[in-house]
Chain A
Amino acid sequence: MSTARKLTMAAAIAEAIGQEMERDPDVFVMGEDVGKYGGIFGATGGLYARFGKERVMDTPISETGFIGAAIGAAAEGMRPIAELMFVDFFGVCMDMIYNHMAKNIYMSGGRVRLPVVLMTAIGGGYNDAAQHSQCLYATFAHLPGLKVVVPSNAYDAKGLMIQAIREDNPVLFMYHKGIMGLPWMAYYEGSTTEVPEAPYTLPFGEAKVVREGRDVTIVTLSQMVHKAVLAAEELAGKGIEAEVIDLRTLVPLDRQAVLRSVRKTGRLLVADEDYLSFGLSGEIAALVAENLDTIALKAPVRRLAVPDVPIPYSRPLEQFVIPQVEDIVGAAVQMMSAKAAAGARP
């Protein structure tokens, strides 16, 4: 057992891919700068040297071409992993993703298998502005047909990636740049965790209670999990015990985990780095609203998310629009003194 071994999330993802490539000759990687460079965010680090350029393929800047090719190869039974360097670049290839990758299984009445993983970098916080800082997971989770995985740490990332590769369905695997453990970008160190060397899978659709608490449920994912944990520690100092739930996958979504926790605490705070309207935070709020016959809310639901503006470049502007630890603390404190309307009891 090498349980003491710690890996960055980037190294854990690369290890997962490497182990699956060893196990299954049908697994291969395609993307921009995934070869010699090892992926701009390190998700394919070391794979080119081990497996060579036939299985770790640098592509032209032709996302429609190579993501479409991944779909075609998957339909033939291969297990391609394609990397879209930044999720923001989906604009140049969305037809292949939305109208083909996500729909071909359904339109074939289940006769086509698409064991393809599309992995991509998400998130801001390092001043890369509106075209390189989005999360957009709700955009992909909105359309039926894609499984959407958004890990928050190395251990989860490895197990979820191996699961993703073995799936016969298309999986969008979204890693936040600010938790990859890159040597050139500040990151939340809680994302670098112990990772078993042997391959293992984690099932999709199982959220994780990262921290237990009785007063308020913070539903979150990805990098925001780490902000929520820091906020929870601060809240504990004020006598408020927050329960932090890491969703880990959006499709499938572990609805019961959310409901179980909110039934216990009576307060729901969603902390999200995606856009506010028509997205994840609204979905979670609706889930609770639909179950108010079994939930006694003690305060109105609160949502923290990017307030429907593109991500601005300038540091004070970006810090303002992306929810921070102090925003989570502030919202939770307010919720403790808020009251739900009378008659809101089941």
Chain B
Amino acid sequence: MNASREHLLWMYETMMLIRRYEETMAQVYLEGKLPPAIQRGLAFDIGSGPVPGEMHLAAGQEPVAVGVCAHLRKDDTVVGTHRPHHFAIAKGVDLKAMTAEIFGKETGLGHGKGGHMHLFDPEHKFSCSGIVGASLPPACGAALAAKKRGRDQVAVAFFGEGAANQGAFHEALNLAALWRLPVLFVCEDNKYAISVEKSESTAVPWNADRAAAYGIPGVLVDHNDALAVYEAAGAAIARARRGEGPSLLEVRTDRYFGHFQGDPEVYRPKGEVEELRRHDPIPALAAHLRRENLLDEAAEQEIEQRVAARVREAFEFARTSPYPKPEDALRHVFH
């Protein structure tokens, strides 16, 4: 499947946006968390600063989000993971409202109730969860609803390679296959389930091979490349839209940051990230676009500026938005 000019440029700009967003978040996240701003004796305080709590960043994993979401419509459903920003951005979630949520502000997607791992945007049909493996069954439900209503919408569940060892993975694959649901399961293999390497946690080398157990196609993209993901996801999503059932797609991707910000990464060999960054998927796509005469220096600069402005505006909006009133904590348990 050859990507259209629009899709190629969208993927490039969206990857740039995600990368800029995550790198900005990595910096902002450190505000107020280091000595001398924190309790004596601590190296870092996870609960301090304008963005407290855990923070899982997806720099390096952009190809998975854009290669899949390029094929999606606004009325398709995406369910993401505890590391959700790249999926949310690629699905079209409003950057300002998402950032405000991560800052815990009243203007956020969930009025500050959810935070970074729990982003809900019903308008763009995006949600995510902090529980590993929790994306797959609800994606089956969205696909079931589309099928029951005779619509050609699809659903996508993203999850990490660690999640493929949860019961939810196996139950969801069986259900989707049994009911021939229009769903795509996308496994982001970034090699580590927090600190545990895939080879130490998973009995088979590739999760894509597990699709065979449920009689559905399993496709492996063994390098972190947006075009390769685009091609594989395009075929699977078209198949789902035609009513031919689910697929499992596994992508070997790279996590540049720790599992969470502040992760000492004692499990990661020294120099690994530097090595991964030498094969960064963003310059790789830029090179392809230049070869195809779709991108020149002026256009590249324009994209960079546009992306920087969007990120700046989103963070500015989040910072200047008010906090919710404390007693608003009691609202929204029920309608």
Q: How far, in whole Å, are A309 and B266 apart by their CA atoms in the complex? A: 37
B193, A187: Cβ atoms under 8 Å? no
Q: Mark A183-194, 1 if CB is under 8 A from B, else 0.
A: 111110000000
A60, B118: Cβ atoms under 8 Å? no
A320, B329: Cβ atoms under 8 Å? yes
B118 to chain A, nearest CB (A): 6
Report which of A128, A183, A317 forms a contact with B53, defined as CB distance below 8 A. A128
A184, B114: Cβ atoms under 8 Å? no
Q: How far, in whole Å, are A185 and B44 apart by their CA atoms in the complex? A: 7
In B39-86, which residues have CB < 8 Å from any A CB? 39, 41-48, 52-54
What is the size, in residues, of chain A's interface with B at 8 Å between Cβ atoms?
A: 45
Contacts of B42 in A (CB 8 A): 183-186
In B106-120, which residues have CB < 8 Å from any A CB? 108, 110-118
The stretch that binds A, out of B124-132, B139-147, B212-220, B221-229, is: B124-132
B47, A62: Cβ atoms under 8 Å? no
CB of A20 closer than 8 Å to a CB of B? no
A36, B47: Cβ atoms under 8 Å? no
Contacts of A61 in B (CB 8 A): 132-133, 162-163, 165-166, 193, 201
A40, B194: Cβ atoms under 8 Å? yes
Most buried by A among B101, B108, B165, B168: B165
B132, A127: Cβ atoms under 8 Å? no
In B178-237, which residues have CB < 8 Å from any A CB? 193-196, 200-202
- Contacts A61-B133, A62-B166; is A314 near B324 (CB within 8 Å)? yes
Q: How far, in whole Å, are A185 and B52 apart by their CA atoms in the complex? A: 11
- Contacts A36-B266, A60-B193, A60-B201; is A184 near B104 (CB within 8 Å)? no
A158 to chain B, nearest CB (A): 21
CB of B289 closer than 8 Å to a CB of A? no
Contacts of B168 in A (CB 8 A): 92
A166 to chain B, nearest CB (A): 29
The 8 listed contacts between A and B (C-beta, < 8 Å) are A33-B195, A37-B195, A92-B132, A92-B167, A129-B117, A184-B43, A312-B112, A314-B115
6 nearest CB pairs, A to B = A313-B115, A314-B104, A126-B47, A314-B112, A320-B326, A127-B52
11 additional A-B residue pairs with CB within 8 Å, beyond A58-B200, A127-B104, A131-B129: A35-B196, A36-B195, A58-B196, A125-B47, A127-B53, A128-B54, A129-B114, A130-B114, A131-B118, A313-B112, A317-B329
On B, residues with C-beta under 8 Å from A are 38-39, 41-48, 52-54, 101, 104-105, 108, 110-118, 129-133, 162-163, 165-168, 193-196, 200-202, 262, 266-267, 323-330, 333
